[in-house]
Structure 1
Amino acid sequence: MKNKSNKKHMKWTKKQIYSFIAKVVFMTIGSILYSIGLEIFLIPNNVIDGGIVGISIITNHFIKLPLGILTFILNVPFFVFGYKQIGKSFALSTIFSVICYSIGVNFFNPIPGITKDILLASVFGGIIVGFGIGLIIRNGGSTDGSEVIAIIIDKKVSFSVGQIVMFFNFFILLFAGFIFGWDRAMYSLIAYFIAVKVIDIIVEGIDESKAIMIISERHEDISEEIMNRLGRGLTLLDGKGAYKGMETNVIYLVVSRLEIAEVKKIVNEHDEDALVTIGPVDVFGNKYKKKGMH
């Protein structure tokens, strides 16, 4: 009986199968884009990426081993070391991504760079690399062993994962300055920051969500105006002032980044003394959709 129940439990639904296939497809596309950004734009102009890939590019300058093989060799120990720390699913997704872009780097290596203009190469290389990495991260993977180490270190120090990765990359780009020249290191920094911004857009979405809380004595008027003008649903939370002990309602809603200005305008029209807090938030579920979008 136990074996039968386990087999049933292990069966995937059609939705899970389609979701898995979609993740594999998008991670493959992301890995290809990452490879193109590196081999067609950045590497031919001695502009490097951060992390293990950056270390691989620098190492490749001294050891003429194919970059794809070198990247894979340097990455694998980190994932094996951090397997228990980062989880099976994340580790397997990341290893798959590393294998894909390692193959892609070797495939695109013989193709000459599209441009010799270093600024153009840095900008467009950063965009393409960021787009590729963003697709991989959005679908549950990663591209670099340094991120795994950062996740492990993060549990023991007060710095965030992003700060630790930035710290690693600072020294990698600093070292690249001695090897390829300081102008190339600065262009690498440009490409890196562009890639980071594009990654944020792909992972978070252009229509980034923000959570807003509004504390006002005129919460009824403000709530009605927001629903009428923005078509957004909202929630009224019970609140009580600690100083005066007055009970009131706190308006809570989630809007897109582009709608924040309109919410501020509505609040100011009804109550200039209202307290408004705005912060980033991850959202999923149909209740976030505007009225009429269901």
Structure 2
Amino acid sequence: MKQSKSYKLISEYGQIAFGIVLASIGLKAFLLPNGFLDGGVTGIALLAKTFVDIDISYLLVLFSIPFLILGYYTVSKRIVIKSIISIIGLALFIHFENFGTITEDKLLISIFGGLFLGAGIGISIRNGSVLDGSEILGVYLNDKFGFSIGQVILLFNIILFSVTAYLISVEVALYSILTYIVTAKVTDLIIEGFEDFIGVTIVSKKYELIEEAIMKELGVGMTLYKGTRGMGNSGKQVDFDIIHTIINRIDIKRMHRIIDTIDDDAFIVEFDVNSVRGGVLRHYLDKKKSKVLSKA
């Protein structure tokens, strides 16, 4: 029985809400009361909080704005809108909830604070949203200059933790690095490698419509294989094209939605891709100029 669009939408936002709750627990019950930092935009907000008497919820929204603006030109509007809702939701939850401090043990704070925060970020990313704008920065620099998302985030956090060591203390910086490592590993575990790419092979009688929709909605290049004969649940298929493309994992749910709208019986194979060079990896259409991408 096929799931309705409304059910999928409710499921996505429900999971994002759960991710927000987990991230809030990590921040309010572990990191904030003990002055620990995480990486990314969250880390910048936590660092700023140690010097200014401004609620952390306001700082999270404030420091996320430049990355969301960047995301408008980098990822789909749907992802940006969901991210705005998620970040505001996280800020509101942090502002109004009153989790008590669970422990004062520095090692437990780093591990479990990172665990809850990483779980929240991972669940949000898996449902097409981000709670931390550094991922958007990574995607942007990957598109423009070919840097891997992991390299960008790592460099971003090296600078952040160096500033923390200089302005606060080396000990806080070291524990914050541990928090970041735990957060990153838990995030990767939940979303199965956000920093990697994913390959998709699509077999469908409506391949022409799917090809056009993917080009228009996702703006990614693709390779078409000529299929001469195949067997499926509807019998033999002759003279059809097999679509092969590579996308960032954050877009996979959107691709599913596009394909399901056209042919919910399409045969789809997904596989991890850890290294990509050359070709059209990820370009977004310039709708103002009606730019059309050529096939990879």
TM-score exceeds 0.5: yes
By how many angstroms is 1:45 displaced? Answer: 1.6
Residue 60 of structure 1 contacts residue 66 of structure 1 at CA under 8 Å; is this kept in 2?
Answer: yes
| Residue of structure 1 in register with 2:124 after alignment | 136
Residue equivalent to 1:263 = none
Show the 5 A alignment for 1:230-241: none
8 Å Cα contact 1:38/1:125 also seen in 2 = yes
d(CA) in 1 for partners of 2:28, 2:163: 20
Map of 1:164 onto structure 2 = 152
CA distance in 2, matches of 1:101, 1:90: 16
* Residue of 92, 95, 101 corresponding to 2:81: 92
Q: What CA distance in whole angstroms lies between the structure 2 residues aligned with 1:97 and 1:65?
A: 21
Q: Is the CA contact (8 Å cut-off) linking 1:136 and 1:142 kept in structure 2?
A: yes
Question: Which amino acid in 1 is paired with 2:272?
Answer: V
How far is the alpha carbon of 1:14 from its aligned partner? 5.9
Residue matched to 1:191: 179
Structure 1 unpaired stretches of 5+: 1-12, 206-210, 212-279, 283-294
Residue in 2 aligned with 1:127?
115
Partner of 1:242: none
Whether the 8 Å CA contact 2:79–2:128 is kept in 1: the answer is yes
CA RMSD of aligned residues (A): 2.1
Deviating beyond 6 angstroms after TM superposition, the runs of 4 or more aligned structure 1 residues are: none
The CA distance in 2 between the partners of 1:82 and 1:130, in whole Å, is: 21
SS in 1 for 2:73: helix
Does the 8 Å CA contact 2:35/2:50 hold for their aligned counterparts?
no
TM-score w.r.t. the length of structure 1 is 0.63
Contact (CA 8 Å) 1:35, 1:105: kept in 2 or not?
yes
Alpha-carbon shift at residue 152 of structure 1 (Å)? 1.4
Structure of higher CA gyration radius: 1
167, 188, 201: which one aligns with 1:179: 167
Aligned residue for 2:231? none
User: Which residue number in structure 2 is paired with residue 219 of structure 1?
Assistant: none
- How many pairs were matched up? 197
SS at match of 1:281: strand
Is the contact between residue 45 and residue 60 of structure 2 (CA under 8 Å) also seen in structure 1?
Answer: yes
User: Is residue 67 of structure 2 the alignment partner of residue 63 of structure 1?
Assistant: no
TM-score by length of 2: 0.62
Deviations 1:88-111 (A, max 9, x none): 111111111111111122123x54
1:281 to 267, 272, 291: 272
Which structure 2 segments of 5+ residues have no match?
A: 194-198, 200-270, 274-296
Q: Going by fraction, where is helix more abundant, 1 or 2?
A: 1
